[in-house]
Structure 1
Amino acid sequence: LQADRRIARWYDLQWLTWLAVTAYLLHQFEEHGVSLLGAPYAFRGTLCATLGYGDAVSCPVPLAFITAVNVSAVWVAGFASALAARRFPLIALSFFAVPLVNAFAHIVPAILERRYNPGLFSAVVLFLPLCLWALAVAVRRYGAGAKAIGLVLLAGLLVHAVLMGSLLAYLRDFIGLVPLVAIQVLNAALPAALMVAAFHGRVAVPPPAPATPVRAPRKPRRPPAQAA
């Protein structure tokens, strides 16, 4: 799971990507399993209420939409990004776009509404610190610049915009279920595609520098000159 065993795993982007996939598993359980308040499958009800549907049972948000989002953007993209991290660390970095923006998608409504929403706890405790640390490691150890960091933020925003935009288009009968699901599958590749397009295929970088500078070996001291 670690690309470079010479350093601590917390400075290895491949290991951090696998950790992010694991964090998303816990996040999905809080959303679609049992929430922090003990409610089962609470996320869909919250989403339906946000869209103006009071009854989650009759809410037209399809289960296939939620499944397509989670499987494509997390499991397919997550595994692919982690496996590519050794040779293409910028691809691995692009995976953090979705959890980073998703964290604020939970935090901002919680602050405005002053109440818990399904997924908030894992977003604050797992997503936010892990994503910020991964960005710091990408800058410090892998030499990622402002352009790469900006693309991570942009990609996360675009993924969520496409996600919600396509759902609203479906609810207004502009598109059918099959196009809605297909859009989510393609949308999962958006962060990596943006990174590749922005760097013109130069997503493979030279071997990263060590996490801590290595001191040059000291020259042996000359023995003191003896008096004749």
Structure 2
Amino acid sequence: MEDFVIKFDFAWSWIGLGMAIVFFVLLFFTDLLRSDLNKPRWQDAGWYAWVAAPMYMIHQFEEYALYYDVHSLHHPFADMICQKVGYGAYPNCPIPLQHYWLVNIILWLMAMLGAWKFYKTNPMVALAPYGLILANGLLHIGGWLSSGNPLYYYVSGGTITSMFLFIPVTILMIRACLKWKVMSGWAMAATLTAGLIGHIILFGAYASLDAGGVIALYIFDFLAMTSPLLLTWLASKWLLKPKKSKLL
């Protein structure tokens, strides 16, 4: 089991990169993931719903794979997380490596589920991952600016994709939604806030480790990554206008 953990800890971010490449081919060279062929991709809010998952996969590749230490067989980024929350570096850190896989893979699945199942009926749910994307991007950039570290440094892992993917794409998504009245400004604010709440829950996951052990950590991981979709679904009851049915 330990051998599998070590191997998958190396492999999962590379798996994400491979999936991201497939997604980007579909997104940019086919019309399969577009919701409105009468608009350019950059103005199609449904297209942005599909962009979220592969964009996060690229971000996670920067965080983990680019800085992987083949000699110690671990991610320096995970060491940094442990030290930030008050634990020592691995192997003394009690946060299981499975935590990182769980959080990130659940996010992939939730983003793809939202884009596939909800965009036509509930764009708030479909675009909920952008709240996590925006919060995470700003956290990376703010942390890098305050640290004084070089941009290409493991403590700054994720900052490059935050600057050149997360923030610009989120701005373009907001512009497309508001321009074509996919949702109101209040609905957009609620969508992004739901992701911020998910990020706050994720911080609570680390505190739960001391109180409830690994099982509590995994429960918080699941809640953190699924709460944006649940919260936007609830908020949409008040903030999304029901679509009028067409008369036959």
Q: Tell me the TM-score normalized by structure 1.
A: 0.80
Q: CA RMSD in A?
A: 2.5
Q: Distance in 2 between matches of 1:205 and 1:133?
A: 25
Pick from 37, 50, 54 the counterpart of residue 22 of structure 1: 54
SS for the counterpart of 2:93 is: coil
Residue of structure 2 equivalent to 1:94: 128
Contact 1:93 1:135 in 2 (8 A): no
1:59-208 to 2 correspondences below 5 Å: 59-72=93-106, 74-83=107-116, 84-115=118-149, 116=151, 117-170=156-209, 172=210, 174-200=211-237, 203=240, 206=243
Distance 1:35 1:125 in 2: 19
SS at match of 2:92: coil
Alignment of 1:25-36 (within 5 A): 25-35=57-67
Aligned mates of 1:157, 1:203 — CA distance in 2: 20
Conserved? CA contact 1:138–1:144, under 8 Å: yes
CA distance in 1, matches of 2:240, 2:108: 21
**1:42 deviation in Å?**
2.9
Give unmatched runs, 5+ long, in structure 2: 1-32
Deviation at 1:52, TM superposition (A): 3.2
Describe how 1:209-220 pairs up with structure 2 within 5 A. Answer: none
| Bigger-Rg structure (1/2) | 1
Q: What amino acid is aligned across from residue 28 of structure 1 in structure 2?
A: Q
Which of the two has greater helix per residue? Answer: 2
Distance 2:167 2:127 in 1: 15
Aligned length: 204
Identity %: 26
User: Which structure is higher in RCO with an 8 Å CA cutoff and minimum separation 6?
Assistant: 1
- Cα distance 1:59–1:193, how it changes in 2: closer, same or farther (>3 A)? same
Q: Which residue of 1 aligns with 2:17?
A: none
Give the 3 Å change call, closer, same or farther, for CA 18–199 of structure 1 in structure 2. Answer: closer
1:42 is matched with: 76
Offset at residue 205 of structure 1 (A): 5.4
Is the Cα contact below 8 Å between 2:125 and 2:232 reproduced in 1? Answer: yes
Q: Distance in 1 between matches of 2:157 and 2:194?
A: 23
- TM-score in terms of structure 2 length: 0.74
